[in-house]
Amino acid sequence: MLSKEAQNIIIKYLSLQATSIELDELQIWIQNSENKKFFHAYVRTNYAIDYNMRKFSSDNLKAILGKEIAKERKVIKLKNIRKKLSYASAAILIGLLATTYFLKDNLFSNNKNIKPIILNTIEAGTDRAILTMEDGFQVTLQKGISFKTLNASSNGEELTYEAEKNDAKKIVYNYLTIPRGGQFFVKLSDGTQVWLNSESQLKYPVSFINGETRKVELIYGEAYFIVSPSTKNNGSRFRVFNNAQEVEVLGTEFNIKAYKDETNIYTTLVEGKVRINFENGNKNLLPNQQLNLNINTKSSLIKDVEVYNEISWKEGVFSFERKPLKEIMKVLSRWYDMEVVFENKALEDVKFFGVLDKEQSITEILQTIKKFKIIKNFEINGNVITLK
């Protein structure tokens, strides 16, 4: 029988509320085969079968445990790599059983032994980008290849700009384009840090003009910003533009998701303060809030969100909470540079709750989904995956 302490840690883990210390304890505890059996049984009984329990863990549990973990979470922060690695290793260890369940009555029944058809291997994404210089010259940035100019350098995994020794007199722009199956980090000349997700493009100055508002443009895609505060830049404010909104910030951390094939722009605030200006007005965001702006209708909606689910991509994992399989596959298709076909259209709306390691092969992920009987089988042919 599980102790109350063990149950509390498991509940925290399932709701992504566990601290790094608790995750380490869980990882050690579950290595014991008997403990692992208790763990599986507990998840089956309390989470997989009863949907209301998941609602309890994600809603009521936050209120109950919020005060106890707030201080430690503030210290650890969502960007702490230790937490990311702990979640990823624990997820691998238990085969994603702890954090993956689907809203189906026969979740834990066995699939028929139908082997998938795999005609090609689809690799996980990696650090890569295309840098377009001011004169139009393009450089491919990728692991193992170094690159250097007068004011920028790259080790193949990140790109760093240095501030000009003499104040810049003219704005010169570079573009960083992340293809499908890629990701990249860039540090701008003012010290602002930007993580770019797959299929994204950022336009930014090589150097900012002293005293003027610092402006960058997320042309499309997804980016996470840690903005160098105005106090370190002679009072200069920082603004991020895209085709439908402008985000004005003051030393803060936030995520913008604005893909070309989506009609909504999602801006999520992690720390600090932002004001979002758009055609029909403007909105201020508080930490842990997200603004959903519909490009077509110009309507906007602010809601509280679990920030970890929104920004976990930059920490090496995908965290999904009640997301339809169609939406999940769209996210995965960008990272694995693949196309997904639903042979059974009913699968598109099946909900998913789970944490997936970005270094897993797509075959491993699909095998896990099949194991839980969400799909009967799958086929990989070139870069096309068919779900059956």
Judge if 170 and 285 occupy the same domain.
yes
3-state secondary structure of 60: helix
Judge if 148 and 74 occupy the same domain.
no
The whole-number pLDDT of residue 3 equals 72
**168 assigned to some structural domain:** yes
3-state secondary structure of 370: helix
The whole-number pLDDT of residue 248 equals 93
The whole-number pLDDT of residue 295 equals 93
Cβ atoms of 293 and 308 within 8 Å: the answer is no
**310 assigned to some structural domain:** no
Q: How far apart are the first and last CA of the chain?
A: 39
DSSP class of 103: S
Report the distance separating Cα 388 and Cα 135, nearest Å.
Answer: 48
**375 assigned to some structural domain:** yes
CATH of the domain at 359: 3.55.50.30
Judge if 157 and 229 occupy the same domain.
yes
Using a 10 angstrom Cβ sphere, with 0-12 exposed, 13-18 middle and 19 or more buried, the burial of residue 213 is: middle
**107 assigned to some structural domain:** no
Report the distance separating Cα 96 and Cα 94, nearest Å.
Answer: 5
Judge if 148 and 259 occupy the same domain.
yes
The whole-number pLDDT of residue 368 equals 78
Report the distance separating Cα 67 and Cα 80, nearest Å.
Answer: 20
Domain count, the chain: 3
**131 assigned to some structural domain:** yes
**35 assigned to some structural domain:** yes
Q: Which two tokens stand for residue 24?
A: 């380490």
Judge if 295 and 319 occupy the same domain.
no
The whole-number pLDDT of residue 34 equals 78
The whole-number pLDDT of residue 50 equals 34
> Per the confidence metrics, is the pTM higher than 0.95?
no
Cβ atoms of 294 and 303 within 8 Å: the answer is no
**108 assigned to some structural domain:** no
CATH of the domain at 228: 2.60.120.1440
Name the helix (H) or strand (E) containing 386.
Answer: strand 384-387
Domain end among 305, 332, 353: 305
Domain end among 305, 327, 354: 305
Judge if 181 and 249 occupy the same domain.
yes
Judge if 283 and 357 occupy the same domain.
no
Judge if 136 and 282 occupy the same domain.
yes
Q: Could you give the C-alpha distances from 373 to 99, 106, 224, in angstroms and in order?
A: 15, 8, 35
Judge if 353 and 204 occupy the same domain.
no
**104 assigned to some structural domain:** no
Domain end among 305, 332, 350: 305
From first to last of its 388 residues, what are the pLDDT tens digits of the chain? 567 677 777 766 665 556 667 777 777 787 777 777 777 666 655 543 333 333 334 344 334 334 333 333 333 333 333 344 444 444 433 333 333 333 333 333 344 457 777 767 788 999 999 999 999 999 999 988 999 998 899 999 999 999 877 676 789 999 999 999 999 999 999 999 999 999 999 999 999 998 899 999 999 999 999 999 988 888 899 999 998 999 998 778 999 999 999 999 999 999 999 999 998 889 999 999 999 999 999 899 999 998 988 999 998 888 887 788 999 999 999 999 999 999 989 999 988 777 788 888 899 888 877 877 778 889 999 999 999 9
Judge if 294 and 331 occupy the same domain.
no
Judge if 164 and 233 occupy the same domain.
yes
The whole-number pLDDT of residue 208 equals 93
Structural domain range at position 69: 4-99
Judge if 294 and 379 occupy the same domain.
no
